Structure 1
Amino acid sequence: MADNDVVYIELTEGIKRVMGNTKLYVKLLNKFKADPSLEALLAAVEGADYEKAQGLVHTIKGIAANLSLTELYKQSVDFEVQIKNKEVKSGVPESFKTCFEETIKNVDKVIEQYG
């Protein structure tokens, strides 16, 4: 799948989830952007603290679902299963981090457009 086929934000769906309140959606995106969970998650995985990692990835997954951050949600589901099984495949944390960073870039565009 080419990068341009990846959907990072389903904007229409995200705004629908907050009853059409674009201002609230932008506020929630800003809050998501400021959350330090990614660094904590990657550190927990690296340190094999799977219990902590599972809680963090679950939180990211929930936020991604609620904000319609589509690709991040998909990768969170897969990453959570690997963490739960204590079998994180090589390269997965790095690719999750890349997805998270790309999501943030897309979030920035939405904030710039609607904020």
Structure 2
Amino acid sequence: MVVDFGFGLSQLSGDESLLIMLLAKIKTEYSNCDNKLKEMFDNEQWEDAKTLIHTLKGVAGNLGCKQLYATSKQMEDELKLTLSCPNSFPIFVNVLNDTTALIQQAEKAGTVEIAFEKKLISDVTELVCILKQNIYISHDEIAKLLATIQYNDEKKQQLTLAIDTLNYALALELLNS
């Protein structure tokens, strides 16, 4: 799930207009973040890059931008280990673009309902994307995702076990079979 609007709404006592306003602020302040980070990496400004990533991670996490939070955390963790452009940077750029596009869509519509409607269409594709990026998925999130996917119970149990044990390669095989 790129943005969990339900979580964002729960953080703001259901105030949809406030959520859209805060998400629009993320879009405005961070839509060029990839270029800023690239420049910081090129100029070896590691502490500045860490600070920017850490701040974005916190904002994204608090408002339900799950994939942006996860990729920011992954980049932050990589920068703690080595002072070079993180391997996850290209994934981060894609997630940032997907997140800002979804925010723009909700902002234009004036509601997050359109995002909820589209969510059900992409659950299998979304799960594959998450697994390929090695993003952690909680047991509750797995259950929610699998509830909307038309697989038999045995396959759902196999998928749940594979994901719970972090065997994402097996989970991807099961999804492709």
TM-score under structure 1 normalisation? 0.84
Deviations along 1:24-52, whole A, 9 cap, x unmatched? 11110111111046132232123221111
Deviations along 1:57-108, whole A, 9 cap, x unmatched? 0011011101100111111111001112225466522221111001111111
Which structure 2 segments of 5+ residues have no match? 112-177
Take 1:55 and 1:80, find their aligned partners in 2: how far apart are those partners? 9
Take 1:69 and 1:27, find their aligned partners in 2: how far apart are those partners? 14
Any conservation in 2 of the 1:40–1:56 contact (CA below 8 Å)? Answer: no
Any conservation in 2 of the 1:15–1:21 contact (CA below 8 Å)? Answer: yes
Take 1:82 and 1:69, find their aligned partners in 2: how far apart are those partners? 20
Structure number with greater Rg is 2
Deviations along 1:11-32, whole A, 9 cap, x unmatched? 1111111111111111101111
2:24 paired residue number: 30
Query: How many residues get paired?
Result: 109
1:1-115 aligned within 5 A: 7-36=1-30, 38=33, 39-88=35-84, 91-114=87-110
SS in 1 for 2:14: coil
Higher relative contact order (CA 8 A, sep 6+): 1
Any conservation in 2 of the 1:79–1:88 contact (CA below 8 Å)? Answer: no
SS in 2 for 1:35: helix
Tell me which amino acid in the other structure corresponds to 2:16.
T
Any conservation in 2 of the 1:14–1:66 contact (CA below 8 Å)? Answer: yes
Q: Sequence identity, in percent?
A: 23
Take 1:88 and 1:13, find their aligned partners in 2: how far apart are those partners? 33
Cα 1:11–1:43, aligned 2, differ >3 Å: closer, same or farther?
same
Take 1:30 and 1:98, find their aligned partners in 2: how far apart are those partners? 18
SS in 1 for 2:44: coil
Tell me which amino acid in the other structure corresponds to 2:13.
M
Cα 1:64–1:76, aligned 2, differ >3 Å: closer, same or farther?
same
Take 1:18 and 1:41, find their aligned partners in 2: how far apart are those partners? 30
